[in-house]
Amino acid sequence: MRCPYCGHKKTRVIDTSHDTRGGTRRRRVCDGCQQRFSSYERPILATPMLIKRDGTREEYSREKLISGLWVACAKRPISTADVDRIVGEIEAELQQIGRSEVKSRYVGDLAIRKLKELDEVAYVRYAIVYLGLSDLESIRNEIDTLLGE
């Protein structure tokens, strides 16, 4: 692996750890500049194509999902690790269903359910866009439902 500091081609692994999703974190040291850095490896598993509402098909995009979640979580006490965990859990479920295509609504349902468990304000923000809550009455009904639980 190339050093991100000096570009030297030789680095050594000094520590390795594994996470629950099958990823591997490696602590490395550059043979050239002696700087230490971490690399993270995760397996690339096939995710299904998403079928949009209008019938078009789109490749699943991890970045697009993360972006949507961050918009909902803006200015909330939610860590990057929490968002990464949610995305990892969603990807794991997509891979476990074993289908080559799935409706985009399924991914949205997973995301909204996980946000509801994590942070109610982020959930409402996501729900406004995802569920198409276009007026104050529908937003109020969703908040009342949430408070009733």
**80-97 and 104-118 are packed helices; what angle lies between their axes, rounded to 10 degrees?**
140
Which residues, other chains included, contact 21 with Cβ-Cβ below 8 Å and sequence gap of 6+? 42, 88, 92
Q: How confident is the model at residue 142 (pLDDT cuts 50, 70, 90)?
A: confident
Residue count (the chain): 149
Supply the mean pLDDT for the chain: 90
CA distance 86 to 111: 7
pLDDT at 143: 85
pLDDT tens for each residue of 107-129 = 999 999 999 999 999 999 998 88
**104-118 and 62-72 are packed helices; what angle lies between their axes, rounded to 10 degrees?**
40
pTM of the model: 0.66
Domain ranges of the chain: 11-41, 49-148
Within 20-135, residue ranges assigned H as helices are: 62-72, 80-97, 104-118, 120-130
pLDDT at 148 over 70: yes
